[in-house]
Amino acid sequence: MFDRYRTPVKLLAVIYVSLAVFYTTKTLIVSPLHDCISLLLNLRPSNPTSTFLNAPSSSYISSQTTKPQHHITSFLELKQSQNVPLTNVSSISPYKASSFQEYLHLNEDLFISKAFSNSLHPSKIIPFFYRATGEIDAEDITVTTLITSNRFAVFAKLVERYQGPISVTIHVPNIKTSISDLLDSLHALYTSSPKMSLYVDVHLVVDSFGRQFNTWRNIARLFARTEFVMMLDIDFSICTDFRGALRGNKAMLNKLREGNSAFVIPAFEYVRHEEGLDQATFPRNKQDLISLVKARRIDMFHTSWQPGHNSTDYPRYYSASPGEVYKVTMYQSAYEPYIIFKKEGPPWCEERFVGYGGNKAACLFEMYLSGISYYVLADHFIIHQNHLYDETARKPERKFNRKVYTDFKEETCLRLLKNYHELGVLNTTKGNNLQGECRKIKGFSRIATQLIST
């Protein structure tokens, strides 16, 4: 009697067991796993154009609008209507908080204050006050630089000449009577040329502290949207197409990707001040440059301070064959060339330096100690556009920073020595620069022995 029901019962039992297994798997395994994966993925912003925290997520990145992004009106109205200092303004960035910030309960100001914690505070940093509208190749080279309002005209020439991605930090003195005029001038500059809005990302620093050069350099580098960057001072004219040469050379591009190499673009200046004022007259190929060097009209940049650039080995540069790339073998701690390197990986510029003297050399020093080798592109060069210096400020600031740099070198040597020893890389190629340079510090060998033995 029960035989005719046996098969349907078996079938229902199988279905029930299958549904139970499915429900249990989904509830106890699949859903938690899915939530976990979603959480991990959401730690990275999903929209590569929605926030300054994003790194390039594909080969090309385009901006979210075809118009220059700025908010001068809201910026000024917010300050004037609420009558609060700019350092307390927290809602003037055009980009909303990312998932990263939301999960960690970090607002933008807190995140940035930690990122630049060694700088002078209070300070308001506004990433992407203007954001370039052009497409950006992740493996392009972004020129990172810094300017004040008296360098707007020179910056416009750099943009026209380079015609590639530029990340610039602009200092805005927190002076109520002049900030409106400065922002109006910046708006006029940014809208003065299609190339400006096509290539340039602008980041503002609003505070009462001048000449925080390394902080400004770090800001421009942090918010660059390509994998490779060039650290450049604004008063230099780009004379040759080193960008095309590097991107078209597979071997050199691989060196950049590895992150252990930086390429030096040799720097020059006119001997007579008046000859170096007009970039339109500067040579654009090495043959013309050498002719001017032989005529003693052009020389190494800052000849009066040989340690700054002589590690580039200018005699070798002059005699180098076309296409030659040679390694810097005479490094010393005052060396401060203009370099192209990988954005992520190398140390950041030490922000305790304020004012003239030692700031850029400190950047290059820590990079060198970290294991980065410098290579000179012997077909290429940049030339300084001459201008007068404020010697009243430079002399005391250099004296102060000379002391800071002495302490910084010793601290950096000790810190990296301990780090590399514990990682087991001190006696590898990565530790060669560290050992060679730090031995020059008086008494360092004794201190190093004690540190390693503890």
> What is the per-residue pLDDT for 447?
77
Average per-residue pLDDT in the chain?
82
Query: In the structure, what pLDDT confidence band is assigned to residue 395 with cuts at 50, 70 and 90?
Result: confident
**Final residue of a structural domain among 233, 249, 284:** 233
> What is the per-residue pLDDT for 12?
53
> What is the per-residue pLDDT for 442?
84
Query: In the structure, what pLDDT confidence band is assigned to residue 109 with cuts at 50, 70 and 90?
Result: confident
Query: In the structure, what pLDDT confidence band is assigned to residue 45 with cuts at 50, 70 and 90?
Result: very low
Query: In the structure, what pLDDT confidence band is assigned to residue 66 with cuts at 50, 70 and 90?
Result: very low
> What is the per-residue pLDDT for 355?
81
Does 85 fall in a domain? yes
Burial class for 439, CB neighbours closer than 10 Å (0-12, 13-18, 19+): exposed
Cβ contacts of 341 within 8 Å, gap of 6 or more: 228, 229, 231, 256, 259, 261, 262, 263, 367, 372
Mean pLDDT on 340-351: 97
**Does 229 share its domain with 276?**
no
Mean pLDDT on 167-191: 94
**Final residue of a structural domain among 197, 213, 233:** 233
Does 395 fall in a domain? no
Cβ contacts of 241 within 8 Å, gap of 6 or more: 380
Burial class for 42, CB neighbours closer than 10 Å (0-12, 13-18, 19+): middle
Domain around 447 = 407-453
Residue type for 439, please? R
pLDDT per position as a tens digit, 215-237? 999 999 999 999 999 999 999 99
Asked if residues 382 and 237 have their Cβ atoms less than 8 Å apart, the reply is yes
Does 6 fall in a domain? no
Strand segments, DSSP code E, in 103-225 are 124-130, 136-137, 141-147, 166-173, 200-207
**Does 114 share its domain with 220?**
yes
**Does 313 share its domain with 373?**
yes
> What is the per-residue pLDDT for 95?
46
* Angstrom distances, CA of residue 13 to CA of 2, 6, 25, 106, 184: 16, 11, 18, 53, 77
Does 362 fall in a domain? yes
Give 169-194 as a DSSP string: EEEEE--HHHHHHHHHHHHHHHTS-H
Does 1 fall in a domain? no
State the Cα angle at 202 between 198 and 205, rounded to 5°: 175
Mean pLDDT on 324-341: 97
Q: How far apart (Å, rounded) are the C-alpha atoms in residues 370 and 326?
A: 20
> What is the per-residue pLDDT for 391?
66
Query: In the structure, what pLDDT confidence band is assigned to residue 23 with cuts at 50, 70 and 90?
Result: low
Tokens for 212, please give them. Answer: 């925080």
> What is the per-residue pLDDT for 237?
97
Mean pLDDT on 46-73: 38
**Does 212 share its domain with 65?**
yes
Whole-model pTM: value is 0.79
pLDDT per position as a tens digit, 233-284? 999 999 999 999 999 999 999 999 999 999 999 999 999 999 999 999 999 9
> What is the per-residue pLDDT for 135?
94
pLDDT per position as a tens digit, 353-376? 988 888 999 999 999 999 999 999
Domain count, the chain: 3
Does 151 fall in a domain? yes
**Does 256 share its domain with 339?**
yes
Strand segments, DSSP code E, in 208-284 are 228-231, 236-238, 261-265, 267-270
**Does 118 share its domain with 223?**
yes
Q: How far apart (Å, rounded) are the C-alpha atoms in residues 13 and 21?
A: 12
Q: Does pLDDT of 74 surpass 70?
A: no
Q: Does pLDDT of 97 surpass 60?
A: no
> What is the per-residue pLDDT for 70?
46
**Final residue of a structural domain among 233, 257, 283:** 233
Q: Does pLDDT of 84 surpass 50?
A: no
* Angstrom distances, CA of residue 358 to CA of 56, 334, 354, 383, 408: 32, 8, 9, 21, 10
> What is the per-residue pLDDT for 454?
62
Half-sphere exposure of residue 57, counting CA atoms within 13 Å on the CB side?
12
Q: Does pLDDT of 88 surpass 80?
A: no
* Angstrom distances, CA of residue 161 to CA of 200, 216, 238, 251: 13, 22, 7, 26
Q: Does pLDDT of 110 surpass 70?
A: yes
> What is the per-residue pLDDT for 24?
54
Residue type for 27, please? T
Rg (CA), the chain: 27
Q: Does pLDDT of 28 surpass 70?
A: no
**Does 246 share its domain with 384?**
yes
In which residue are the tokens 């580039």 written? 312
**Does 415 share its domain with 379?**
no
> What is the per-residue pLDDT for 105?
67
Q: How far apart (Å, rounded) are the C-alpha atoms in residues 90 and 88?
A: 6
> What is the per-residue pLDDT for 71?
44
> What is the per-residue pLDDT for 229?
98
Does 14 fall in a domain? no
**Does 301 share its domain with 352?**
yes
Does 183 fall in a domain? yes
**Does 225 share its domain with 78?**
yes
**Does 160 share its domain with 93?**
yes
**Does 325 share its domain with 183?**
no
